[in-house]
Amino acid sequence: MLLEIDDLHVSFRMERGALVHAVRGVSLQVPADRTVALVGESGSGKSVTAMSILNLLPDNAQRRGRVLFEGRDLLQAAPRELRALRGRAIACVFQEPMTSLNPVFPVGRQIAEPLVRHLGLSRREALARAEHLLEEVGLPEPRRRLHAYPHELSGGQQQRVMIAMALACEPRLLIADEPTTALDVTVQRQILELLARLKERHRMSMLFISHDLGVVGEIADEVVVMRHGQVRERGPVQRIFAAPQDAYTQALLACRPSIEAPPARLAVVDDHVARRVHETRARPKDPHAPVVLEVQALCKGFRFRQGLWGRREFQAVQGVSFRLRRGHTLGVVGESGSGKTTMGLALLRLHGPASGPVSGSARLHGPDGAVDLLQLGEAQWLPMRRRVQIVFQNPYASLNPRFTVGQTLVEPMQIHRIGATRAEREARARRLLEKVGLDAAAMHKYPHEFSGGQRQRIAIARCLALEPEVLVLDEAVSALDVSVQAQVLNLLKDLQDELGLAYVFISHDLAVVRFMADEVLVMKDGRVVEQGPVEAVLSAPREDYTRRLLAAIPGRAGRRGSARAD
């Protein structure tokens, strides 16, 4: 047995000596040349379990039990022994490559570092090996990429660099912690296929951590389901998917939106486990509802320096047009680089003319007539910001780390004069937190005290504080596990029914778009290649590009079939 975890307990000592028990008696095995998936919601203890193997935990962590790697108990290993194992025998690929890669060093130097440290290669030999690794993980122009900095690469390319770095010393165990979260479906498919090929080629084992059961079904041999720090179910991947025994596993599978026949309301784990049944009839949309936002021939370009005096222009969005009605949702889908996020940011003037030309019109309709958002001066924009809000993709960057959650929610209300007193605003902020599934005690905490999914819920609450008419949701649920995602998507639908909100829903997850949207835009290279009612476009797409996006959804090509293809 390559890795054996036996009765692992992990606690964190907090202020005033309080103990928080994150992992409670977890036992699992990772055989040689096998992939074991750890599955569960945020806070289930799956990442803490994995990070305990090499003690990649904060100083206030306390571990007991046994973690045997090739018969050696790593809980008893000295720090020097663990440093020798890290990157050499056991390597890690983390969820967010941009926070794992050093922004001030070229990626070639970062890949070469473990080769120099663990294998004793010279700098020249290490760089030659790094070039070969970049080629092996499918990065185009590997020699040129050696000198690129992380910010010059896309998210999928950054993750390939992380995989190359992890494989540099040919480890026997790879720990992959949410390696495909927030990647679009085609890049996700490529990363899964890459990991499967490299696992076979290098004859290594993998501990794969994910909250997405669709992804797990593509790559795992065995599945271990965790909740509240304990193992709820384990078994072969085919049996777990075909006949799950534990109510929690059944609930995780039920929470996932379906591309074929989405329900009117998504199941939530707690309701499913408790066998609570809610009203599931969809409220019909008014096809004649007034138009709230009308976009015509929207274009957005960016200017770049080229050489000493030259400049070049890149058209990121080209001729996008749509009409959005009150109470309706427009889904926008496409790969990374398709222009979907740029389109959303251009609507809110967050990519201004200074970065490159903007043309077309974006008319926001209201009781006093229509206003072209692209033609407003800066002074005229303040009242518009209340009417059009955005939830950004990255919850780590969109909240002020120096503000408490209460300050984050109250500040926009103060600016727009919502609420007569501070006490009234704070009471409203507490109600908003409860709406997005957080306790009112969160008011006095700071963003770093919350998980990524919790931070995204705070960001959604901040937008709702202004009661906007149009909400641009830029990958707003991509960082959430399936149960929290279901809660937030149900919440967004409830708010839409209650307040008549109109959504521009940007996402790489076509199953989520199928659940949320009434109409869909499919974007490629800045252009709309297909547009129409969501059911018609996703059920019977006319364009090959749309069909490729649908084929890349985990689980649609046959579990583990394509991921195993070499």
**CA–CA separation, 417 vs 56, rounded Å?**
46
Question: Phi then psi for 21, rounded to 5 degrees?
Answer: -90, 110
Burial code of 440-473, b = ≥16 C-beta within 10 A, e = fewer? Answer: bebbebbbeebbbbbbbbbbbbbbbbbebbbbbb
Task: Give residue 565's pLDDT.
Answer: 37
Task: Give residue 182's pLDDT.
Answer: 63
For the residues of 309-373, what is the DSSP string, one character each? TEEEEEEEEEEEEEEEETT-EEEEE--TTSSHHHHHHHHTTSS-GGGS-EEEEEEEEETTEEEEG
Q: What is the pLDDT of residues 12-42, one digit of tens each?
A: 998 777 889 999 999 999 999 999 999 988 7
Task: Fill in the DSSP letter of residue 44.
Answer: S
Task: Give residue 381's pLDDT.
Answer: 83
Report field, pTM of the whole predicted structure over 0.75:
yes
Query: 10 Å Cβ neighbour count for 384?
Result: 16
Sorted by where each starts, the structural domains of the chain and their CATH numbers stand as 31-57+72-247 (3.40.50.300), 325-355+365-564 (3.40.50.300)
Sign of the CA dihedral 493, 494, 500, 501?
A: negative
Which of the residues in the chain have pLDDT under 70? Answer: 182, 274, 277-282, 307-308, 352, 452, 479, 555-566
Q: Which amino acid is at 415?
A: I
Contact (CB, 8 A) for 339 and 526: yes
Task: Give residue 563's pLDDT.
Answer: 39
Length of the chain: 566
Query: 10 Å Cβ neighbour count for 72?
Result: 11
Residue at token pair 């995780």: 252
Task: Give residue 308's pLDDT.
Answer: 67
Sign of the CA dihedral 437, 439, 444, 446?
A: negative
Task: Give residue 155's pLDDT.
Answer: 75
Angstrom CA distances, 163 to 111, 179, 184, 497, stand at 10, 9, 17, 44
Question: Which one, of 14, 17, 95, 101, lies nearest residue 51 by Cα?
Answer: 95
Q: Could you tell me the two tokens for 117?
A: 């440290």
Question: Phi then psi for 41, rounded to 5 degrees?
Answer: -75, 170
Contact (CB, 8 A) for 427 and 412: no
Spatial CB neighbours of 124, under 8 Å, sequence gap ≥ 6: none
Question: Phi then psi for 410, rounded to 5 degrees?
Answer: -80, -35
Question: Phi then psi for 431, rounded to 5 degrees?
Answer: -65, -35
Residue at token pair 């307040």: 499
* CA-based max dimension of the chain: 74
Cα three-residue angle 244-247-248, rounded to 5 degrees: 95
What is the SS3 assignment for 147?
A: coil
Residue at token pair 């599934």: 437
Task: Give residue 424's pLDDT.
Answer: 94
Question: Which one, of 233, 201, 319, 193, lies nearest residue 37 by Cα?
Answer: 233
